[in-house]
Amino acid sequence: MTAIALVVGWFTWFIFYLGDAPPSGDRVPKQPPDESRRLRHPSGFSFVAPPHWNLDAFDDDSIRMSPAYVDVAVRRATAILEVSRLGAERPTATEALSRVVFLGDEAFEKMEVCRKSSFDDPAWSHYDLYVHHGDNWYYVGYGVAEERPVLPVEMRSYLETLRWE
């Protein structure tokens, strides 16, 4: 009888805990960019963060974010967004990428499925963008735990909020 009461009490607590938990972030944002969530970096760039994403790293030249989640069982990243200032020298990685124009600047990009889903391992796809603006090169990376051969339109709308100040 005591065991049943403990189990019922635990489930009740867990339901109330989840009810008070903050919302989880989507690996592919469903809401359009909102300027009130613009992050500014001291090195001179800014972008709008997706809703309910956490700041994982903020150092001299970069910002890295990932979706917030409530599930304590989640042990792997479901998505990652990184923006970094690289410096004046053109990155060698651009040689293997497609040349594009991004926000009016010379850029190179690639989206690929790095790993397909398996029994116990989720898929992983990654987007790389190198942008030459002013005297500097910038890197924008987006990884997502899904098989995505093309960058989602919703995520591209967030990447296009990148500004240099």
pLDDT tens digit sequence for 93-134? 999 999 999 999 999 999 999 999 888 888 999 999 999 999
With 0-12 / 13-18 / 19 or more C-beta atoms within 10 angstroms meaning exposed / middle / buried, residue 23 is: exposed
**89 within domain boundaries:** yes
**pLDDT, position 5:** 54
**4 within domain boundaries:** no
**133 within domain boundaries:** yes
Q: What is the pTM of this model?
A: 0.82
Judge whether 92 and 107 are in contact, CB under 8 Å. Answer: no
Helix (H) or strand (E) holding 5: helix 2-20
**What are the tokens at 90?**
């053109």
- Domain of residue 150: give its range: 24-164
% the chain with pLDDT above 70: 82
The enclosing domain of 101 has a CATH number of 2.60.120.1690
The alpha carbon torsion through 19, 20, 26, 31 (nearest 10 deg) reads: 100
Query: Across the chain, what does the average pLDDT equal?
Result: 87
Count other Cβ atoms within 10 Å, centred on residue 129. 22
Residue 18 has pLDDT above 60, yes or no: no
Of 23-27, 89-93, 143-147, least confident by mean pLDDT is: 23-27
**151 within domain boundaries:** yes
For the chain, the first-to-last Cα distance in angstroms comes to 65
**pLDDT, position 128:** 98
**145 within domain boundaries:** yes
Q: If pLDDT is split at 50, 70 and 90, which confidence band does 39 have?
A: very high
**67 within domain boundaries:** yes
What integer is the mean pLDDT of 129-155? Answer: 96
Total domains present in the chain: 1
Q: If pLDDT is split at 50, 70 and 90, which confidence band does 150 have?
A: very high
For 31-162, strand residue ranges (E) read 38-40, 45-48, 53-58, 62-67, 79-87, 98-102, 105-115, 124-133, 136-144
Q: Which residue has the tokens 């009740």?
A: 12
**98 within domain boundaries:** yes
For 50-69, b/e burial (b = at least 16 CB within 10 A) is bbbbeeeeeeebbbbbbbeb
